[in-house]
């Protein structure tokens, strides 16, 4: 071997790049098993027909979502196609109002307002927002808050009225419910366990 020969180093660079490309391709395909909708960590959209819990798993040292019994959203069991349409609409609303200008999803976005990944599971909906809005279910309280956040000021930062129609608010609630069913390896850590962050 001649270490002075540039061809030696070039061959090294080329072969390393090729090997790493193969590794990258493998890892990308492997990740898809987990992160595609219906994959190992991401339930199908019609999971919104079921109860979603969040329980500490000692073997993983993290909270993991637990999919439970039937619990139709807004009292209506949806087909997979209907659930997909709701998600498309919910995502469009979230993009058009730029919720990420204040909020984070999976920790991405702005740090002005709470992370929304597990918002559906926030105990504050039943403890504070259902009584405050006078609504009988969590989803109705969420939709009401999303349509008129300015009507329910807390002592913390205020969310402005983004003029969501009822249909838009409900599709966002559906999206947030599905989002909370994703196994995020425990992110955000300890969510909803110790503090209720509304007065």
Q: Which residues bind ligand HEC (CB under 6 A)?
A: 93-94, 97, 99, 101-103, 112-114, 116, 119, 122, 124, 146, 154, 156-160, 162, 172, 198
**Minimum CB distance to ligand HEC, residue 59 (Å):** 28
**H helix or E strand, kind and range, residue 175:** helix 166-180
Nearer to ligand HEC, 39 or 152 (CB): 152
Residue with Cβ nearer ligand HEC (50 or 119): 119
Cβ 154 to ligand HEC shortest distance, Å:
3
Shortest Cβ distance from residue 106 to ligand HEC (Å)? 15
Structure-token pair, residue 42: 């991401």
**Minimum separation from the CB atom of position 35 to ligand HEC (A):** 22
Total number of residues shown for the chain: 199
User: Of 103 and 170, which CB lies nearer to ligand HEC in the complex structure?
Assistant: 103
Given the complex with ligand HEC, which of 6 and 134 has the nearer CB atom?
134
- How far is residue 50 from each of residues 47, 58, 76, 114, 177, measured CA to CA in Å? 5, 24, 11, 25, 10
Distance between CA atoms of 137 and 129, rounded to whole angstroms?
A: 10
Nearer of residues 39 and 187 to ligand HEC, judged by Cβ:
187
Enumerate the H helices of 4-137 as residue ranges: 6-35, 80-96, 124, 130-133
Interatomic CA distance for residues 99 and 92, integer angstroms: 11
Residue where the block lists tokens 């597990």: 118
Shortest distance in whole angstroms from residue 53 CB to ligand HEC: 16
């Amino acid at each position: 071997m001649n270490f002075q020969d540039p061809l030696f180093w070039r061959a090294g660079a080329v072969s390393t790049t090729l090997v790493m490309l193969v590794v990258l391709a493998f890892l990308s395909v492997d990740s898809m098993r987990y992160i595609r909708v219906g994959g190992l960590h991401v339930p199908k959209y019609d999971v919104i027909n079921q109860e979603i819990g969040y329980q500490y798993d000692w073997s993983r040292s993290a909270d993991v979502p637990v999919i439970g019994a039937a619990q139709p959203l807004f009292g209506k069991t949806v087909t997979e196609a209907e659930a997909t349409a709701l998600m498309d609409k919910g995502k469009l609303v979230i993009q058009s109002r730029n919720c990420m200008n204040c909020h984070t999803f999976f920790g991405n976005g702005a740090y002005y307002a709470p992370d929304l990944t597990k918002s559906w599971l926030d105990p504050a909906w039943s403890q504070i927002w259902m009584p405050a809005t006078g609504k009988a279910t969590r989803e109705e309280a969420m939709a009401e808050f999303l349509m008129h956040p300015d009507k329910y000021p807390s002592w913390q930062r205020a969310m402005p009225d983004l003029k969501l129609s009822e249909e838009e608010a409900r599709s966002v609630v559906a999206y947030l419910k599905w989002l909370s069913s994703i196994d995020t390896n425990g992110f955000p850590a300890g969510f909803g366990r110790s503090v209720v962050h509304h007065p």
